[in-house]
Structure 1
Amino acid sequence: MTDTNMQNTAPAPGPVPAQQPEGAGAERTTLIYNGTCPICSREVAHYRAKADQHGVTMDFADLHSADLAPYGLTPDEAARRLYLVRDGQLHSGYEATLILWSELPGTRPLARFAALPGIRQIGTFIYDYIAAPALYALHRRREAKKAA
C-alpha cells in the first residue's frame, strides 16, 4: 500500500505531561479512544465491563465527544493512536495498552508478558507500523463516507 497517510506518526517515546480536565484527580486513568471504530469500540466495551466488574476507577473518553484540548490532542491526532492519561502523564500506542492491561484484573499477566524485552519491541513495531496505520486508514474511509 502506498498511501502516504499510512506513515508512522508515533510521538517520541515516553510519557508527555498532560493537563487534567477540571475536577479530574491526577490518580485517575482516562482512556481516549475512537468510538466510531468498530474494533476499538468492541475492545473498549470489554475493558469498561472488566473495570466495572472489578471496581477499577477508569474514565473512557470517546474522541468524538470528549474535550481533547486539556490533553493537548486534536481529534485527528487522537484517531491515529490509542491514548491513555495516568497520573497526569499522556501515554500512547503500545505503551498505553500495556498500562491499560496492567490496571485491569485478568489482563495483568498479559501486560507483564507483553512488557518483556524483545516482546515490547516487537509489539511496539506491530502497533506503530501495522495496527495503528491500518485503523487510522479505516477511520479516514469512514469519515470520507460520512462527508460524501
Structure 2
Amino acid sequence: MSQETRVLFNADCPICNTEICHYRAYTEARGLDVAYDDLNGNALSEWQIDADEAAKRLHVTQNGEVYMGVAAFAALWSTMPRYRWLAKFARLPGLWQLANVIYDRVLAPWLYRKHLKRAVAAANSQGASNP
C-alpha cells in the first residue's frame, strides 16, 4: 500500500458508496493523497483482511496505522481541509465515546445486516437464472 492514506469500503453498499464517492471526488479534485479500495475487488490481500470482516466497518490506513470505525472516519476527515473540523469535533471527549457506541452498536451492524441481505439476494438471483 503505497499511498499515505488508503480507504477500504464496500462499494456494494449504497450508503457507503455514496459517502465514499463524495470523499473521493473531493480528494481527487484537490490532488490529495488518498486512495480508495472497494472490498469487493482485489485489494483485500493487500489489506490482509477477509471480505466479511472488511464489510463490518470502514477501514483506513494512514502512516502505517490501520484505523477502523469512527477512528477510520476521523483519520480520513483529517486529510481533507473541509472536514478537519469534523475530525476534531468527533475526537472530543464524551462525543468520541458516544460516536463509537452509535457506530459500533447501531450503524455498522445495521449496514452489515443490509450487506448480508444483498449478498443472499444476489446469490438467490444467480441461482434462479442458472437452473
Q: Give yes or no for TM over 0.5.
A: yes
Residue aligning to 1:46: 22
Give CA-to-partner distance per residue, 1:67-123, whole Å, 9 cap, x none. 212322001110001000111221100100011111112111111111100010000
Q: Of the candidates 78, 87, 90, which is equivalent to residue 102 of structure 1? A: 78
Please identify the structure whose Cα radius of gyration is greater.
2
Q: CA deviation at 1:54?
A: 1.7
Residue aligning to 1:134: 110
Q: Aligned partners of 2:27, 2:75: CA distance in 1, in Å?
A: 13
Structure 1: segments with no counterpart, 5+ residues: 1-19
Structure 2: segments with no counterpart, 5+ residues: 125-131
Q: Aligned partners of 1:81, 1:99: CA distance in 2, in Å?
A: 14
Q: What is the aligned length?
A: 124
Taking the TM superposition and a 5 Å limit, the aligned residue runs for 1:46-125 are 46-125=22-101
Q: Aligned partners of 1:111, 1:99: CA distance in 2, in Å?
A: 7
Q: Aligned partners of 2:40, 2:46: CA distance in 1, in Å?
A: 15
Q: Aligned partners of 2:43, 2:58: CA distance in 1, in Å?
A: 16
Q: Report the TM-score when normalising by structure 1.
A: 0.81
RMSD across aligned positions (CA): 1.0
Higher helix share: 2
Q: Secondary structure at the match of 1:95?
A: helix
Q: Report the TM-score when normalising by structure 2.
A: 0.91
Taking the TM superposition and a 5 Å limit, the aligned residue runs for 1:16-31 are 20=1, 24-25=2-3, 28-31=4-7
